[in-house]
Amino acid sequence: MKAVDLFSGCGGFSYGFQQAGFEVVVGVDNNEHALKTFELNHNNSKGFNLDLHLDSAIDELVRYLREKEHEIDVIIAGPPCQGFSLTGTRNADDKRNTLFYAIFKLASKINPKAIVIENVPGIITLYKGAAKKEILRLADEAGYSCKYQLMYAPDYGVPQIRKRVFFVALKKELGEFSFPAPMLNEAEYVTCSDAISDLPSLENDFGDDVLSYTSNPDSEFQKIMRKGSKYILNHVGTRHTDHVINVISQVPEGGNHKDLPPGVGDSRKFNEAWTRYHSQKPSKTIDTGHRNHFHYKYHRVPTIRENARLQSFPDVFKFVGTKTEQNKQVGNAVPPLLGKVIAEQLKGYISD
């Protein structure tokens, strides 16, 4: 079964589909560094740097798929969420809010069996649910039955507090999609320690882009993440000032700026400032920055690899570009494990 990934970023969403046995033939984004990471980690896939606001971009994509004689089963898409996000400007006129039209324009030309769209929870309620209603209308008009559901990442084995909405549209003759039930309860959630405790501490050095494993896996999750990988990639520490290290050292495990003594860490006082992960809980939501969350044990921000683990990227997945670019790629991604869970469920509806 073949898929295309629109607004792919580095391809976390579609990597989960690849893990479930799909062939992801194309990724489309407007970030060159993310596309290089995408191509590097998706088997024989081609990245396209295109502006999907433009009909000409859709036409170029269709031409390529026809040239290669690719019959596409699924369109996967995670359109930019800044307009709907709690951390964004919530501007109803933000043109990024209408990028889902591109998904249905492409669908009208290549007629996939299914369309899977991911976004932030705000897409359901903001602007009186206008975007949600429009997605459901477009799907119905195009001959798809569409269901949506809020999915909580820890319920599906991702060691990170992350809520996302998924829309799954199926050709009406294929029935109505039923979302996979939660796989874990709160007592069973994969924790930060379960996810990253086996990685080198970097207390005495800054690591490197390629490192050897120095310990055995401590958890089932770590065994899964290390499968097929000979080395640890992208595990490079950050050089902090003495002041930052001093402030971090005073934040208790699971705490934040509210737990600091008066006068300490006053340069950052917003909600997520000086947040230290808790070893026995999933991490906070991984974002595109890297200055506000800290390792549960060591006085530093997590490395790219640590955050990638918390996003459920396996160790064989290599990120390229500057550290800033790599942080954006990790933070913007859909956890591959969530993609895989949906892909496995979807196979039951669309496989011949």
Residues with catalytic annotation?
Answer: 81
CB 190 within 8 A of CB 154: yes
d(CA 139, CA 132): 11
261 burial (CB, 10 Å; 0-12 / 13-18 / 19+) is exposed
CB 79 within 8 A of CB 99: yes
Nearest to 273 by CA among 247, 253, 293, 252: 293
- Within 10 A of 25 (CB to CB), how many other CB atoms are there? 21
Strands 232-236 and 207-211: antiparallel
d(CA 60, CA 45): 16
Report DSSP state, residue 151.
Answer: E
- Residue labelled with tokens 């196979």: 347
- Residue labelled with tokens 């390629």: 210
Strands 23-29 and 46-49: parallel
Would you call 284 helix, strand, or coil by DSSP? coil
d(CA 337, CA 212): 25
Residues contacting residue 25 through CB under 8 Å, at least 6 positions apart: 2, 3, 4, 44, 45, 46, 65, 68, 70, 72
d(CA 303, CA 106): 37
